[in-house]
Each structure stands twice: as structure tokens, then as C-alpha cells.
Amino acid sequence: MAESNTQKIEWPNDGVSRIPYKIYTDPDNYDDEQRRIFRGPIWSFVGTDQEVSKPGDFITTYIGDTPVIVLRDLERKVQVIVNRCSHRGNLICIKREGNSEELTCVYHNWRYDLQGNLKSVAFGKGVGRKGGMPDDFNREDHGLQRLRVAVYQGLIFATFSDDVAPLTDWLGDEMVENIDRVVGRGMVLLGTYSQYMPNNWKLYMENVRDSYHASILHMFQATFRINRLSMKGGIKLSDNGWHHISYSIAETDREEDQYDAKKLRAVKDGYTLADPTLVKGWREFECGTTLAIQSTYPNFVVQQISNSLALRLCLPKGPEECELLWWVFGTPEDTNEQQEIRIKQSNMIGPGGVISMEDGVVGGWIQRGTKRDHEKTTIVQMGGRDVAPSAEGRATEVSIRGFWQGYRDCMGF
Amino acid sequence: MHGVLIMAGSVYVGAEVRRKIENLVADYAHAIDDDRLEEWPEFFVDECSYRIINRDNHEKGMRIGVMDCSSKGMLQDRILALREANVFEPHCYRHIQSASRISRSDENVFQVETSFLVVRTMQEGDMSVFCAGKFLDEIVFEDDKPLFKKRLVVTDSNRIHTLIVIPI
């Protein structure tokens, strides 16, 4: 038998500004994360309420790597239930989505209602009075595991924790405000897809929070001279550092001018877009925000990149793999023209996004690069060593440090 | 120009037209697999559409996939971005394609369906089935030459592994 690795990871002295390589590969640490983070004091995003719009509608997904069912019960309440029969641990829902009035395990026909209460057990009284469950078997003790649920602006969250604060308190006002802004008008789903990545889930979440790399790794805008002109931007962090928003606001230039097709074509040196309508947009938000990437701890993202709106959820799939689920959406108010603009701009995001595709590959390179020398660490010191509530400009890694603050809080490092 | 023979509700496609369409579908795949990507936009008419969408979204009537080009210019920009801007690990595709099912709804537009399998080979030699699915094409003839007016790539899986930069 392989020797089990019981040695805890040793955290270096420089707080949240140095991250040990081992944290991205260690299988024991991965198991700890499932317990201390994904079943710990956090709210996990699990889906949108329009995916379970009718009573009996269900979808299956994961919190961490625990399979869960998200459903709307017959009283129209959203329930999130661990997808595992109390009997022998079989998955109750096999399909990714569907509609059902009850939950029945196909293996031995144990039947549950949509609140997870065990209603009947096949051959519970035996066959011809032979066999059957013991007399003291009490169905009430063997319901499915039901989680705390919060639905906010159509976003469904669930938690294993009895102690975590109510969702909006846990998020804080600033985070709630951005969700209101991006999602509050209602969502019309335009598409969903998944990106499977050969790296630990935390490497992707660091990337999401890393505004320093944006203009360096992603060369599309620079190559085609799509200038962002004068923009101010920065980082906002929740009080405890766990959640973040990195944003840009067009300051003096109106967006119409900024993405003027003629101006793009007028550039003499370098490349120009043959079809500059790709970057055409409209000023959607009063506040002038042109970009806002928000992450709520640990693995959920609300995205506004120009007029491209999306939700992303990064699911851990073992220590060295993860799956990024995308929900791309518009609003019920969109005109046809605005929807077409969102569709065009979708070319910038996702696994085939001309701007964002690199985010899918850089994590895998770090995973390979940090395979050995586990005592070594990464350096996350751009803009300081600690976690401040806000920062101006892009040359900072403060929101990555915020992620690690949340991580250490949960994991007990 | 292309002889039409009405047959019980469907429209017969002549052997010569069929041969030309099959050649287009084959040439397209070879151009991509041979890294002649600059030729890729030239398989399309100017006002064209090229989209990659997963089967789930397609069947639900949702619109967005992982690539969505609505002009030849956007196809050219994709390739220029691949060559000059995007960062990724070098890799190539090998398309394996089924025979095509060809029908014709009006005089000038042919509906063509072809199944495909794409194997991706990375620079270090890792090989994987990257994508399987179906091309749903609308093909028109310009000066006796077949070109894609629409190429809808419907992928069986919702997942893309790592990233997609080379078109399918």
C-alpha cells in the first residue's frame, strides 16, 4: 500500500503573498478543501432559477465534487439535495435535467418526495412476510440530505453550513450591488457550455482575480490596436477579502467613440480587424462601467465585459483538473440589435474567446511547472503583501491575496 | 445549370453537383489539417455564417456557442488573431468525416450534413479525441463553384478541453 501523506502543507512566512506549490497538487489537501471549503462556511452557486422554472424541474450539478440535485418542489420552492440514495449511495438523478414528481432510486426503488423525505422502500415489509427491513427501521430517519438554499436575483446558492450568514450579508453590500447591476434586470439565457482544464481549480480562480496579466497575456486588443483610451479602474474587495470585483470605467470618452470602426481602420501600423463590428458595443450601464469581473468565494464569477454578460462556475475535478461551466445571457429588455451585439461579443469569451482563451491554458502550464519542488512558492506581491479593501489601477495582485486569505480562514492554515 | 429531377417530395441532386459538394467538404478539412488556415475563409461566400455550438444548446434553440462568425471578415480576423495574437500550445487537428447527406430546398441552396471526428495532437505528442459532431451546411454555387453560405458545427459534447483556437 502506498504510504499516506499525512504531512500538512507548511505555509511560508510571508502570509498570503507566497503560495506553496504543493497546494495545487496535494491529494490530501484536496480532500480537506472539500470538507473545509465546499462544505464549510460558504454559499455555492449551483444554477439559475429559470433552469428549474416549473414544479418538478430538476438539474444535477456539483458543490465541490459532491453531486447535488437542484429542483423546484411541488410548492414551488427551490431545493438543493445531495444526489445520493440513503440506501446504498446510488445517484438518484442520473439525467442532467428533467422533470419528476418524486425522486426514485432506480437500484431498489426507494422513493422520496421533492423535499427529500423517504416515502417508501420496495419490499420494506418483505415478500410473503419473509425478509424486509427490521421493525425499528424508521423512514423519517433516512431522508436525503437537504441543504440550506438562498435564491437572489435568479441565482441559486446552497450551503452545507448551518452557521454561515444569510447570503446577502455574507456577500456584503458592494458585492450585492454589482450582482443587482449585472443580473438584476433578469436573465435570458443565450447559451451554456463548459471548458475542461488540466489544472487545479485554484489556479483558475487566481487567474480570474488577476488583473495584472490582462493586457500582457491577452494580446488580441493590443495586436489589433483596440485601445481602451482613458479608463479608470481598480479593485474592490469585501471586508474579509474573500470576494472581489475588478472593474474599468470609461472616464471621458463615450463608448461610441471608443469603438469607432473608422478609427480602427485608420491605424497605419499593425493589424486592423477586417470586421470591426466584433468590438462594437453600446453604453449599457449608467455608471459607465465597461468591464467588471466579480468573484464570490470560492469559485463563482459574474462577468460583464463590455456587453458580454456571463456567469462562470469552476468545479474541482480532482487535484489536477477542473471544469468551468459558463452561462451566457442577455436581458428581457434587449432589442434584437442588442442581442446580436451580445452574440458577436461572445467571440471574445469562453474556450474559443479571442481575448480569454489563454485563461484556459495558462493554468495547465503552471500545473506542469510546479509539479516538483513542493517546498517552493509563487510570489504574489504586486501592490503589496497584504489585503486592503480597495486598490486603484491594474498593477496589483491584492485580490489574489484576498482569495488566499479566504482560503487560509477556511482551511486553518 | 444543375439538372433537377423531382422525386416524391425530395429533390434529386445530380452526380456532378454531388461530386463538387463532396470535394468542397473534403478540401475544407484538408486545408485545416494541413495548417493552410489562411485559405479557410475562402471556402465561404462574403455574407456567410460560421458557428460552433453544442448539441444541447442547438436542440434547445439557444443561440450562443464557442465561435460565432457572421462575415468573411470575422473569419479572416479569427485566423489573424490565431497567427499573431493568441497564445496557446502548438497543436494540429485530423478530421475524419462521414459521407455527406445532400438535399436541396430550392434551386440554389443545398443542405449538406456530414459527421466528423477531430483528433487533436499536441506538440509533445499527446493525442485525444477533441471533438465529434455534425456539420449542418448551406452550400451555394458561385460561378459553378460551391461555397459555404452557412456552416453550423454542432458538437456532441458541451465540453471543450482547454481551448479552441483552430476552427473545426
Phi/psi at B132 (5° precision): -135, 150
Q: What are phi and psi of A66, to 5 degrees?
A: -85, 125
Is B160 within 8 Å of A190 when comparing Cβ atoms? Answer: no
Contact by Cβ (8 Å): A133, A108 = no
- What are the start and end residues of each CATH 3.90.380.10 domain in chain A? 172-411
Residue B45 near residue B149, CB atoms below 8 Å: yes
Asked if CATH classification 1.10.4080.10 holds for the domain at A172-411, the reply, yes or no, is: no
**A358 and B88: CB-CB below 8 Å?**
yes
Which residues on A lie below 8 Å from B42 (Cβ)?
A: none
How high is the pLDDT of residue A215?
A: 80
- Distance between B30 CA and the closest CA of chain A, angstroms: 21
Residue B5: enclosing H or E segment and its boundaries?
strand B4-7
User: Using CA atoms, how far apart are residues A195 and B157, in angstroms rounded to an integer?
Assistant: 11
Q: Quick one: what percent of chain A has pLDDT higher than 90?
A: 81
Cell numbers 465546499 label which residue? Answer: A38
What ipTM does the predicted assembly reach?
0.93
Least confident span in A83-87, A218-222, A371-375: A218-222
What pLDDT score does A1 carry? Answer: 38
In whole angstroms, what is the distance from residue B137 CA to residue B126 CA?
31
d(CA A124, CA A400): 54
Q: Give the one of B64, B76, B88 whose C-beta lies nearest to A357's C-beta.
A: B88
pLDDT of A289 reads: 93
Residues whose CB falls within 8 Å of the CB of residue A58, separated by 6 or more in sequence, listed in order: A52, A69, A70, A71, A72, A93, A97, A98, A99, A100
* Encoded amino acid at A117, one letter: N
Residue A192 forms beta bridges with which residues? A327
Using CA coordinates, name the residue in chain B closest to A342.
B64
How far apart are alpha carbons A362 and A198 in whole angstroms?
A: 10
CB-nearest partner of B164 from A194, A217, A351? A351
The total of other beta-carbon atoms located within 10 Å of residue B32's CB is 21
Q: Kindly state the cell numbers that stand for B62.
A: 439557444
Once rounded to an integer, what is the mean pLDDT over residues A237-255? 82
The answer to whether the CB of B90 falls within 8 A of the CB of B96 is: no
Peptide bond into A298 cis (omega under 30): yes
Say if CB A317 and CB A54 are below 8 A apart. Answer: no
Tell me: domain A44-150, CATH 2.102.10.10, correct? Answer: yes
- The whole-angstrom separation of Cα A143 and Cα A149 is 17
What is chain B's pLDDT, residue by residue, as a tens digit (168 residues)?
444 444 444 567 899 999 999 999 999 999 999 999 999 999 999 999 999 999 999 999 999 999 999 999 999 999 999 999 999 999 999 999 999 999 987 778 999 999 999 999 999 999 999 999 999 999 999 999 999 999 999 999 999 999 999 999
- More confident call, A390 vs A68: A68
With contacts defined as CB-CB under 8 Å, which chain A residues touch B49? none
Task: Give tens-digit pLDDT for A49-90.
Answer: 999 999 999 999 999 999 999 999 999 999 999 999 999 999
Q: Is the pLDDT of residue A358 over 90?
A: yes
**Rg of chain A on CA atoms, in Å:** 24
Residue A187: DSSP 8-state:
-
* Cα–Cα dist B52/A170, whole Å: 39
C-alpha–C-alpha distance, residues A407 and A405, integer Å: 5
| DSSP-assigned letters across all residues of A372-399 | S-TT-EEE--TT-SS--SEEESSS--HH
CATH number of the domain located at residue range(s) B4-155 in this protein: 3.10.450.50
What's the confidence (pLDDT) of residue A230? Answer: 52
Please report, for residues A66, A70, A182, the alpha-carbon distance to residue A411 in angstroms, rounded to integers and kept in the order given. Answer: 18, 27, 31
- Do B66 and A193 lie within an 8 Å CB cutoff? yes
Residue A236 near residue A377 (C-beta atoms within 8 A): no
Q: Is the dihedral of CA B43, A277, B66, B120 positive or negative?
A: positive
Q: What is the mean pLDDT of chain A?
A: 92
The predicted pLDDT at position A8 comes to 77
Under 8 Å between Cβ of B84 and A220: no
The predicted structure's pLDDT at residue B10: 53
| Nearest partner of B102 among B28, B8, B21, judged by Cα | B21
A351 in helix, strand or coil? coil
In chain B, what are the helix, strand and coil shares in percent, each to the nearest 5? Answer: 25, 45, 25
Q: Cβ A273–B68 below 8 Å, yes or no? A: no
Give residue A350's Cα distance to chain centre.
13
* Helix (H) or strand (E) segment spanning residue B105: none
- Lowest-confidence pick of A211-225, A242-256, A362-376: A242-256
Query: Does the structure show a pLDDT above 70 at A199?
Result: yes
- Distance (Å) from the alpha carbon of B68 to chain A's nearest alpha carbon: 6
Residue A317: pLDDT band with limits 50, 70, 90: very high
- Enumerate the CATH 2.102.10.10 domain ranges in chain A, comma separated: 44-150
Q: How many residues does chain B have?
A: 168
Q: Answer yes or no: are the C-beta atoms of A378 and A19 closer than 8 Å.
A: yes
Return the residue matching grid coordinates 429531377: B5
Which among A22, A24, A6 is positioned nearest to A320, based on CA atoms? Answer: A24
- Residue B116: all three cell numbers together: 466528423
Q: Are strands A148-152 and A155-159 parallel, antiparallel or unpaired?
A: antiparallel
Sign of CA dihedral A340, A343, A345, A347: negative
Mean pLDDT of A306-327: 98
What pTM was computed for the model?
0.93
For residue B159, the chain A residues in CB contact (below 8 A) are 193-196, 323
Return the H-helix or E-strand segment holding A248. strand A244-250
Calpha distance B113→A218 (Å, rounded): 36
Which residue among B62, B69, B85 places its CB closest to the CB of A189?
Answer: B62
Q: What is the pLDDT of residues A118-144, one digit of tens each?
A: 999 999 999 998 999 999 999 999 999
Residue that the C-alpha cell 499573431 belongs to: B84
CB contact under 8 A, A275 and B77: yes
